[in-house]
């Protein structure tokens, strides 16, 4: 199919396919720090970080960092430039405040910043000096379009069966 882009695919299907691609590729730095507590080793940041202060627990999915990276890459692809503040608002959620009314709470800026830095290291994003924030690179756009095309082809094969 000529001319297939990320905009032609449903978001959740593309994010799942791109997250699987990032995990298979194995080049995405995970920012895992090893810390020694008593006599056992535990992986630090990725296993214990909360993605927002509205959450009580860290993510239960072990591949959450890949899914967040895929969602951020798609979000930047769909817009021209995106900064950490915009991503914090996009990934935020409502905080349960008990009997008081719920309010919107932004997501963790550290998580989104580290995801964007990881995507920069593998060449998907680059910093935009003119407007600030980050934008998609040519090679990143090509990779995302290729993943979108393979996702669409796989979806059509399932429909044919």
Percent of the chain with pLDDT over 70: 88
The answer to the question of residue 1 being in a domain is no
**53: CB partners within 8 A, 6+ apart:** 95, 105, 108
Summarised one tens digit per residue, pLDDT across range 58-86 is 888 888 889 999 999 999 999 989 999 99
pLDDT at 1: 53
Exposed e or buried b for every residue in 45-54, given b needs 16+ CB within 10 A? Answer: bbeebebeeb
State both tokens at 134: 């980050």
Summarised one tens digit per residue, pLDDT across range 88-97 is 999 998 999 8
pLDDT at 143: 92
Residue 36 zone, left/alpha/beta (φ > 0; ψ -120 to 50; rest): beta
State how far the Cα of 73 lies from the Cα of 53, in Å rounded to an integer. 23
Helix, strand, coil percent content, the chain, rounded in steps of 5:
50, 15, 35
What domain range includes position 46? 6-160
Which stretches of the chain drop beneath a pLDDT of 70? 1-2, 30-45
**CATH number, position 98:** 1.10.10.10
The answer to the question of residue 38 being in a domain is yes
Helix (H, G, I), strand (E, B) or coil at 40: strand
Enumerate the β-bridge partners of residue 35. Answer: 42
- Nearest Cα neighbor of 78 from 141, 12, 128 is 141
The answer to the question of residue 50 being in a domain is yes
Phi and psi at residue 76, in whole multiples of 5°? -70, -35
Domain count across the chain? 1
């Amino acid at each position: 199919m000529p001319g297939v882009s990320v905009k032609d695919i449903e978001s959740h299907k593309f994010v799942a396919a791109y997250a699987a691609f990032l995990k298979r590729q194995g080049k995405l730095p995970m920012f895992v720090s090893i810390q020694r507590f008593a006599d056992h080793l535990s992986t630090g940041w990725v296993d214990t970080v909360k993605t927002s202060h509205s959450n009580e627990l860290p993510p239960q999915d072990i591949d959450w960092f890949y899914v967040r990276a895929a969602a951020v890459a798609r979000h930047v692809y769909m817009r021209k430039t995106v900064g950490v503040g915009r991503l914090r608002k996009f990934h935020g959620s409502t905080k349960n405040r008990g009997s008081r009314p719920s309010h919107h709470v932004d997501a963790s800026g550290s998580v989104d910043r580290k995801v964007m830095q990881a995507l920069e290291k593998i060449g998907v994003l680059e910093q935009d000096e003119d407007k600030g924030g980050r934008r998609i690179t040519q090679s990143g756009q090509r990779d995302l379009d290729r993943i979108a095309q393979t996702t669409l082809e796989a979806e059509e094969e399932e429909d044919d069966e």
